[in-house]
Structure 1
Amino acid sequence: MITSQSGKSVPVNGAFTPTECLTKGRVGQLSPSGIVSLILSGFELDDVIAMISLSKLYSTPQITERIVGKTRTLTRRQRNKDNINRLSAHQSAVAFQYAKILEHANFVFGKQTTAEDWLGRPCPHLDGLIPLDLIDNAIGFQVVKDYLERVELGVYQ
């Protein structure tokens, strides 16, 4: 468990999935429109940091910055303990996309280290692109998601 700025305990390393970190464990109870409402409200920065901490790959400064923005901004936001820091709707959508892909890759490849290795290397079936570089936009996210679904079904030519 880690303790967030707001004093809440957040399970890490298997107790919560990435999307459960973002939704405070309610992802299975929410409709797709409920998830959209959370995204539009903006995820709490502490919850996004808890999600990022689940992954060695996502914890690198370059990937963390893709999800939450510039490192200086993140540091300044973390120091501001007077109020709950929320990401913008766009940043929250990106964070959710990263969380969903990490979960799906973990399921497909059976091990987080294998999933993270796949996410960080060029994929011949994605025209040599690195899956991690595609996740932060809607079309790239869908391409990676579709490919993982094909791998899951054994149809990945």
Structure 2
Amino acid sequence: MPAVKSTEKGVKTKRATRTPTEMLLHGRKGDTRMLIIRYTQEGFDLSDVRDMISTSELYMEHDLVQRITGKSLRTVQRLAKETEPVRLNRQQSTVAFQYAQVLEHAINVFGSQPLAEDWLKKPCKFLEGHIPLELIDNTLGFQVVEDYLSRIEHGVYQ
């Protein structure tokens, strides 16, 4: 179980012992795209999505669980209290995986989570001034952010 860390603003995040995508996959193998597609079709558990989000101050501050589910904070809190696990639908699960993948990729590119989160929240010239975090929930936006992270990783960027 990850340790809890307090922040200045009173938001509590968990120090991740697993990567964001591992948290969503909850111990299942996820080394091929076809497996990921199958898992998103089955739907991720809301609790796993909340755990993944709780490892990031940036993700907590931007209420990503609401952006992923399309539901209000109160509804998400009510669903989280259900005795049976609540599963996201295919679209919600795909968006959750996109957020996990981008965070993980950015951490690998920038070398630390604070640097990755700092990059994700600032307007980017290559993205025509858009903030990477705000593009991820759109399939095309996600691909553009991933492509740019790959370019940075390989030293081919503007």
Check whether the contact 1:57–1:63 (CA below 8 A) recurs between aligned residues.
no
* C-alpha separation in 2, matches of 1:97 and 1:17: 13
Normalized against structure 1, the TM-score is what?
A: 0.87
Is residue 105 of structure 2 the alignment partner of residue 104 of structure 1?
yes
Deviates more, 1:62-71 or 1:91-100: 62-71
SS at match of 2:57: coil
2:18 — aligned with what?
16
Mark the CA change 1:146 to 1:61 in structure 2 (over 3 Å): closer, same or farther: closer
Check whether the contact 1:19–1:27 (CA below 8 A) recurs between aligned residues.
no
Query: Once the 2 structures are TM-superposed, how far is the Cα of residue 111 of structure 1 from its aligned partner?
Result: 1.0
> Which AA in structure 1 matches 2:33?
P
Q: What whole-Å deviation, never above 9, does each CA across 1:31-50 have from its counterpart, x for those lacking one?
A: 21111111011100111111
Gaps of 5+ in 2: 3-13
2:7 — aligned with what?
none
Give the 5 Å matches for 1:5-154. 13-28=15-30, 30-70=31-71, 71-81=73-83, 83-154=84-155
Q: May I ask how many residue pairs the two structures share in their alignment?
A: 146
Check whether the contact 1:17–1:103 (CA below 8 A) recurs between aligned residues.
yes
Q: What whole-Å deviation, never above 9, does each CA across 1:43-66 have from its counterpart, x for those lacking one?
A: 001111110011011112533311
Check whether the contact 2:29–2:35 (CA below 8 A) recurs between aligned residues.
no
Normalized against structure 2, the TM-score is what?
A: 0.87
* C-alpha separation in 1, matches of 2:85 and 2:153: 38
SS at match of 1:58: helix
SS at match of 1:46: helix
SS at match of 2:67: helix
* C-alpha separation in 1, matches of 2:56 and 2:122: 16
* C-alpha separation in 1, matches of 2:20 and 2:41: 18
> Which AA in structure 2 matches 1:116?
E
Check whether the contact 1:40–1:88 (CA below 8 A) recurs between aligned residues.
yes
Cα RMSD after superposing both structures: 1.4
